[in-house]
């Protein structure tokens, strides 16, 4: 397995200003300039910085050149990587100043290098949450409870076990815990595997981890660790804030059109809608629009709890004149509903948005005050089959993993204005979207939505997608079948392009499904195994044995065969499928399928799984070839074979007649 060693900068302060992902990206750009020009000077940098999204919308190339020349330094003087980083930071500071401040949303912008302050109150709340939910964990109970006043949280997070366990608390079953390395003392490889498993699993439940690398977690950088923990806990607390999990939420709306709007709302918006629903019934006149300033005086909480728990109702809370006293009474009343006190009266009075959101979510879980009066009518509207629901989930998390500005809560609703589709396309194929012709939300005029969707469809046609008789109107109308078909082609094309861009192995030619199939079969065969798959619909894949043999072929140490079943019964198949997904993520594959997709042999998901393993494997070979190094665990002869230096052709060699797959 490839080394996790990060980019090292000699100046500790300079190193602390960047995540490892940012350092690797900037190092790559620096090396690219040096390779092109033989050295790097200030004069080379304006087009490099102007091409970065962080600066492209802020400064022109000429402005950047002016900034770089302000220090009276020779523009033709050679600079090293650290000087390059300092110039980047200087320009970043100018960008922040020009934009009028810094990004500050802790739950959403968790990886920014602009804001590294730690909120001790939030830290204490997250520690209390961890102590509560993981107290009985067989491995972690020896390390709990954590003292929030110390750095014990960050020390415990360094081996990756805590974060993996927390993900399973948020979304049970996400990680097969057999794949977690849980020794008391882990070596660097095992620690890195846990963090890789954590990050890929976090993406698979909807966390935004675009700017976090495994080295950042190994170092337990506080703002990144807390940011990731806050996202995981938020996902747990808001998991039931949707109509599928809590159909009683339909009581909040009056007609089918409002149901559609409810489906498209982010969970926190649904929570606000629920809160205002009960406050209105209780006669509270104000509208709560946020989890901060609108809750500072504690009045909304007092009315909400009186309405939801009349048996504990009291006027003393509202009669309290001091906001802190009222906040304390609110928390005392909430404790009677068994809501854990994860925030303090001070947090309410100061309007902590994250902790207030968590508190309201807890109240919802313990006493939502909704009835089943409308759920039968609503159930008739929910016509998605299990496979469509799983595919929607897969595409939603895949789209969110790309780091677009718009967060997708419901694919079928959120893509209808076309804008998020344009964002996703631009992330995958930068420069293909004509933003001058794009209409930014909120979009009230339907024809503006159609314009966005028409551009999406046209880009798809330019990429040779199969879009016969498909128009922008179909997306605006929410045609689920066509939306899924388009997104699948987009995901598939993205995967094939990634494989094609591995120059050593594709040699610039187009990659096909058959190439991926043949590569997988060849790798398994070369490893001395007998399993083969005839197509991505091959029913024998449901046992999971082929994929475990493929994973073992690309990295022998990653599969513990003592945990593998024969895959003959339904239970054994599920055990293998769950293990496959976690092992692949532990290896470094970014995948979004579920065990059911393996068991039922979902053709699309089988292709994405195989392609992800192939991409990871070839990426390691390319990295080893470029850097002239590879893992110490592979022998010199193994290096020769793995990088194709033995004179053999690439594993990507294709016998086009040997196997063909249906798209």
What burial letters (b/e) apply to 314-345, b meaning 16+ CB within 10 Å? eeebeebeeeebbbbbbbebbeebebbebbbb
* pLDDT, mean over the chain: 83
Q: What is the pLDDT of residue 630?
A: 30
Q: What is the pLDDT of residue 622?
A: 67
The helix (run of H) or strand (run of E) holding residue 272 is helix 267-281
Model pLDDT for residues 458-477, shown as the tens digit of each residue: 999 999 999 988 899 999 99
Q: What is the mean pLDDT of residues 286-297?
A: 92
CA distance 545 to 542: 8
Q: What is the pLDDT of residue 35?
A: 81
Q: What is the pLDDT of residue 661?
A: 37
Signed CA dihedral, 12, 13, 19, 25: sign only:
negative
Residue 23 has pLDDT above 90, yes or no: no
Phi/psi for 479 (5° steps) reads -65, 105
Its pTM stands at: 0.77
Higher pLDDT, 12 or 212: 212
Residue 182 has pLDDT above 80, yes or no: yes
CA distance 156 to 278: 41
pLDDT band at residue 176, thresholds of 50, 70 and 90?
A: very high
| CA 396 and chain centroid, separation | 10
Q: What is the pLDDT of residue 115?
A: 43
pLDDT band at residue 3, thresholds of 50, 70 and 90?
A: very low
Q: What is the mean pLDDT of residues 378-407?
A: 79
The structure tokens 């595409």 sit at 395
pLDDT band at residue 500, thresholds of 50, 70 and 90?
A: confident
Q: What is the mean pLDDT of residues 134-158?
A: 93
Ranges of beta strands (E only) in 299-450 are none
Q: What is the pLDDT of residue 150?
A: 93
Q: What is the pLDDT of residue 1?
A: 42
Residue 546 has pLDDT above 50, yes or no: yes
Residue 504 has pLDDT above 70, yes or no: no
Q: What is the pLDDT of residue 625?
A: 58
Q: What is the mean pLDDT of residues 106-113?
A: 37
Phi/psi for 621 (5° steps) reads -65, -40
Q: What is the pLDDT of residue 383?
A: 54
Model pLDDT for residues 298-330, shown as the tens digit of each residue: 999 999 999 998 888 778 888 888 899 999 999
Residue 537 has pLDDT above 70, yes or no: yes
Higher pLDDT, 13 or 558: 558
Q: From 577, 514, 510, select the one nearest 543 (Cα to Cα).
A: 577
pLDDT band at residue 417, thresholds of 50, 70 and 90?
A: very high
Q: What is the pLDDT of residue 375?
A: 58
Comparing 250-264, 387-401, 479-493, 516-530, the range with the smallest average pLDDT is: 250-264
Q: What is the pLDDT of residue 508?
A: 63
Residue 156 has pLDDT above 80, yes or no: yes
CA atoms within 13 A on the CB side of 475: 32
pLDDT band at residue 169, thresholds of 50, 70 and 90?
A: very high
Model pLDDT for residues 136-147, shown as the tens digit of each residue: 999 998 999 999
Q: What is the mean pLDDT of residues 616-639?
A: 54
Q: What is the mean pLDDT of residues 116-128?
A: 86
Q: What is the pLDDT of residue 237?
A: 93
pLDDT band at residue 4, thresholds of 50, 70 and 90?
A: very low
Q: What percent of the chain has pLDDT over 70?
A: 84
Residue 282 has pLDDT above 80, yes or no: yes
Residue 503 has pLDDT above 70, yes or no: no
CA distance 204 to 170: 12
Which pair of tokens denotes residue 424?
A: 């996703």
pLDDT band at residue 402, thresholds of 50, 70 and 90?
A: confident
Q: What is the mean pLDDT of residues 484-505?
A: 85
Residue 395 has pLDDT above 50, yes or no: yes
Comparing 34-38, 242-246, 543-547, the range with the smallest average pLDDT is: 34-38
Q: What is the mean pLDDT of residues 173-197?
A: 92
Phi/psi for 78 (5° steps) reads -70, 140
CA distance 625 to 504: 9
Residue 648 has pLDDT above 90, yes or no: no
Q: What is the pLDDT of residue 181?
A: 93
> H helices within 588-602, ranges in order?
595-599
Q: What is the mean pLDDT of residues 11-35?
A: 76
Q: What is the pLDDT of residue 592?
A: 94
CA distance 203 to 612: 15
Model pLDDT for residues 197-227, shown as the tens digit of each residue: 999 999 999 998 877 888 888 888 888 899 9
The structure tokens 């080295």 sit at 215
Q: What is the mean pLDDT of residues 493-517?
A: 80
Higher pLDDT, 318 or 275: 275
Q: What is the mean pLDDT of residues 609-615?
A: 94
Higher pLDDT, 623 or 421: 421
Higher pLDDT, 530 or 662: 530
Residue 511 has pLDDT above 80, yes or no: yes
């Amino acid at each position: 397995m490839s080394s996790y060693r990060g980019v090292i900068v000699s100046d500790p302060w300079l190193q602390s200003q960047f995540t490892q992902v940012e350092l690797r990206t900037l190092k790559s750009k620096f090396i690219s300039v040096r390779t092109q020009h033989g050295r790097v000077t200030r004069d080379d940098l304006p087009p490099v910085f102007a091409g970065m999204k962080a600066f492209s919308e802020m400064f022109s190339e000429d402005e950047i050149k002016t900034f770089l020349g302000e220090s009276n330094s020779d523009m033709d003087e050679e600079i090293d990587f650290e000087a390059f980083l300092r110039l980047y930071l200087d320009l970043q500071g100018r960008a922040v100043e020009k934009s009028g401040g810094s990004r500050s949303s802790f739950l959403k912008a968790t990886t920014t290098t602009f804001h590294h302050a730690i909120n001790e109150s939030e830290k204490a709340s997250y520690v209390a949450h961890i102590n509560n939910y993981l107290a009985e964990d067989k491995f972690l109970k020896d390390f709990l409870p954590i003292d929030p006043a110390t750095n014990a949280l960050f020390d415990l997070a360094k081996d990756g076990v805590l974060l993996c366990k927390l993900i399973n608390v948020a979304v049970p079953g996400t990680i097969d815990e057999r794949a977690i390395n849980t020794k008391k003392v882990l070596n660097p490889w095992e620690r890195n595997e846990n963090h890789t498993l954590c990050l890929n699993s976090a993406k698979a439940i909807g966390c935004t981890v675009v700017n976090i690398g495994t080295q950042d977690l190994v170092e337990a950088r506080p703002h990144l660790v807390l940011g990731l923990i806050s996202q995981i806990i938020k996902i747990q607390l808001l998991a039931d804030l949707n109509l599928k999990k809590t159909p009683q939420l339909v009581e909040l709306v009056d007609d089918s059109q409002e149901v559609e709007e409810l489906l498209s709302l982010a969970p926190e918006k649904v929570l606000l809608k629920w809160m205002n629903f009960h406050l209105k019934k209780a006669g509270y006149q104000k509208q709560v629009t946020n989890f901060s300033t609108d809750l500072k005086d504690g009045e909304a909480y007092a009315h909400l709890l009186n309405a939801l728990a009349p048996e504990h109702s009291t006027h003393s809370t509202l009669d309290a004149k001091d906001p802190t006293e009222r906040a304390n009474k609110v928390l005392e009343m909430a404790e009677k509903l068994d809501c854990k006190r994860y925030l303090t009266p001070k947090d309410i009075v100061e309007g902590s948005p994250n902790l207030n959101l968590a508190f309201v979510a807890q109240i919802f879980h313990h006493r939502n005050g909704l009835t089943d009066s409308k759920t039968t009518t609503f159930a008739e509207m929910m016509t998605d089959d299990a496979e469509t629901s799983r595919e929607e989930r897969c595409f939603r998390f895949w789209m969110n993993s790309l780091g677009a500005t718009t967060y997708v809560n419901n694919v079928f609703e959120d893509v209808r204005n076309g804008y998020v589709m344009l964002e996703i396309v631009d992330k995958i194929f930068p420069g293909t979207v004509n933003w001058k012709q794009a209409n930014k939300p909120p979009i009230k005029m339907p024809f503006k939505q159609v314009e966005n969707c028409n551009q999406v469809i046209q880009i798809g046609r330019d990429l040779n997608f199969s879009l016969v008789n498909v128009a922008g109107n179909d997306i605006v109308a929410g045609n689920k079948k066509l939306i899924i078909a388009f997104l699948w082609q987009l995901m598939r094309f993205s995967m094939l392009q990634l494989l094609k861009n591995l120059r050593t192995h594709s040699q610039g030619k187009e990659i096909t499904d058959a190439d991926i199939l043949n590569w997988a079969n060849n790798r398994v065969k070369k490893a001395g195994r007998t399993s083969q798959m005839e197509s991505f619909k091959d029913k024998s894949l449901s046992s999971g044995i082929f994929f475990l043999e493929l994973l073992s072929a690309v990295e022998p140490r990653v599969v513990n065969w003592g945990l593998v079943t024969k895959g003959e019964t339904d239970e054994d198949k599920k055990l293998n499928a769950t293990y496959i997904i976690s092992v692949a993520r532990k290896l470094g594959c970014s995948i979004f399928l579920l065990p059911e997709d393996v068991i039922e042999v979902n053709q699309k998901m089988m292709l994405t799984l195989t392609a992800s393993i192939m991409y990871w494997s070839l990426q390691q070979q390319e990295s080893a070839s470029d850097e002239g190094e590879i893992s110490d665990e592979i022998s010199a002869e193994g290096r020769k074979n793995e990088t194709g230096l033995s004179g053999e052709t690439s594993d990507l060699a294709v016998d086009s007649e040997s196997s063909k797959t249906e798209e």
